[in-house]
Structure 1
Amino acid sequence: MPKTANYKAGDVVVNPITGERGVVRLGASESHDGSGVYDLYVQPGGAVAGEHIHPNMLESFTVLRGRVGFRIDGKESIVELGAKMTVPIGVAHDWWNVGDEEAHVLVEVYPAARFEEAITDLFGLARNGKTNTNGMPKLLQGALFAREYKDVLYFTKPPLWVQNILFAVLAPIAKLLGYQGSYPEYRTQPRGWVEVEPWPLTDKENGRAR
């Protein structure tokens, strides 16, 4: 089974728990520099899985439709149409749809390959009922997910030092019970597909189309 998500433009993934629907505009494997671009649609009341930190990844959001609430480094704001928010590496953030219509947000990620891996597993776990009502992996599953993707993201609650101690204890138990940090079968499950406008290839080093 493939170990990479290998997303292509037009691929569609859905998280039924958080109300998110993602459409790939440019997959990490398609870009020149490993970046990724995604249209994310969030239903009214929908939100990402929880406040989290990307220790090695830059992320930006441009609101294309609707009203979106953001919490970045503890500061909350409501972002309107056309506004762009950039989250520096290592900064805690969260966002959610505060409007009464579906929100459409353009998400740009750099680097994106491991991010795509994490999203594949996180959305797959949600589809299989292995997350809580907020879309976060349940405790035993979360212990292995956190260790697998510690280079990509970690949730801010409980504190990281508590997570490290707790998950070190729970991880061996989770493995004995058949849980995994990553599930190769999620990479082969059928994906939706829609036609999208080609995204111009750019180089993050100079910001120019290539």
Structure 2
Amino acid sequence: MILPGDSIENPVTGERFEFIHTAASTGGELLAFDFALRPGGKVPIPHVHPIQTERFEVISGCVRFRLGRRTFVAGAGEVVEAPPGVAHGFGNAGRGEARMRVEVRPALAMEDMFAEVVALAEAGKLTRRGLPRNPLTLASLARRYDQEAHAPLLTVGVQRLLLAPLVWLGSRVERKRLEHRAPNVLVHH
């Protein structure tokens, strides 16, 4: 569980999160964190939050945003808000580290999603772009956190439908992996 004051860093994408408020500390109302992005760092793909508003206040550096069909650069002191249902993505547009204060309302399980992706990165299971190498892992992650973020141009329902076979296959593969790891137990009657 992530607590206020905790920080995590994605070594693949260059994202660093320093948590100020978490879902647990705000009763689910707010997730707030300071966010740093190394030069050249960016979120892996544009995405949509179906019910969350994400607010970015640029503290230092320059951040290139894609918000809907618009692309623009925001600098220190500027605020960008991505309302629910609007596709967006962002990356560091400058030569130095970019820093932002990010607020997500409601929090949902967003910090858990960040932590899981960072764990995959630390285990070497992400591509250079920051996506899971294994399509079954990607499908499972996308399904588990589809209320937090989903692919642009798809609804949550369509994404679930498209991912269902991969999620099912992934759960079968995981079940078999766990069965093979379980020690053989002999039962004598």
TM-score, normalised relative to structure 1: 0.76
Q: What is the alpha-carbon distance in structure 1 between the residues aligned to residue 94 and residue 56 of structure 2?
A: 17
In the TM superposition, what is the alpha-carbon distance from 1:116 to its structure 2 partner?
1.3
1 or 2 for the larger relative contact order (CA 8 Å, sep ≥6)?
Answer: 1
- Count of paired positions: 173
Range that drifts further, 79-88 or 162-171: 162-171
Q: What is the alpha-carbon distance in structure 1 between the residues aligned to residue 65 and residue 160 of structure 2?
A: 27
Q: What is the alpha-carbon distance in structure 2 between the residues aligned to residue 141 and residue 56 of structure 1?
A: 24
- Alignment counterpart, residue 73 of structure 1, candidates 46, 59, 68: 68
**If you compute each CA radius of gyration, which structure gives the higher value, 1 or 2?**
2
Q: What is the alpha-carbon distance in structure 2 between the residues aligned to residue 27 and residue 177 of structure 1?
A: 33
- Which consecutive unaligned segments of at least 5 residues does structure 1 have? 180-210
2:9–2:118 CA contact under 8 A, matched in 1: yes
- Which consecutive unaligned segments of at least 5 residues does structure 2 have? 176-189
In the TM superposition, what is the alpha-carbon distance from 1:170 to its structure 2 partner?
1.4
Counterpart of 2:131? 136
Q: Percent identity?
A: 32
Aligned to 2:35, the other structure's residue is in SS state strand
Tell me the amino acid that sits aligned with residue 74 of structure 1.
Answer: R
- Alignment counterpart, residue 118 of structure 1, candidates 105, 113, 132: 113
- Alignment counterpart, residue 108 of structure 1, candidates 103, 108, 111: 103
Higher helix fraction (1 or 2) = 2
In the TM superposition, what is the alpha-carbon distance from 1:33 to its structure 2 partner?
5.7
Counterpart of 1:34? 29
Q: Which runs of 4 or more aligned residues in structure 1 lie more than 6 Å from their structure 2 counterparts after TM superposition?
A: none
Aligned to 1:89, the other structure's residue is in SS state coil
Aligned to 2:174, the other structure's residue is in SS state coil
The 3 A distance-change label for structure 1 pair 166 and 130 is farther
Kindly report which structure 2 residues correspond to 1:1-210, keeping only aligned pairs within 5 A, or say none.
5=1, 7-31=2-26, 34-138=29-133, 139-156=135-152, 159=154, 163-178=159-174
1:29–1:113 CA contact under 8 A, matched in 2: no
Aligned to 1:95, the other structure's residue is in SS state strand
Q: What is the alpha-carbon distance in structure 2 between the residues aligned to residue 131 and residue 141 of structure 1?
A: 10
Tell me the amino acid that sits aligned with residue 142 of structure 1.
Answer: L
Tell me the amino acid that sits aligned with residue 145 of structure 1.
Answer: L
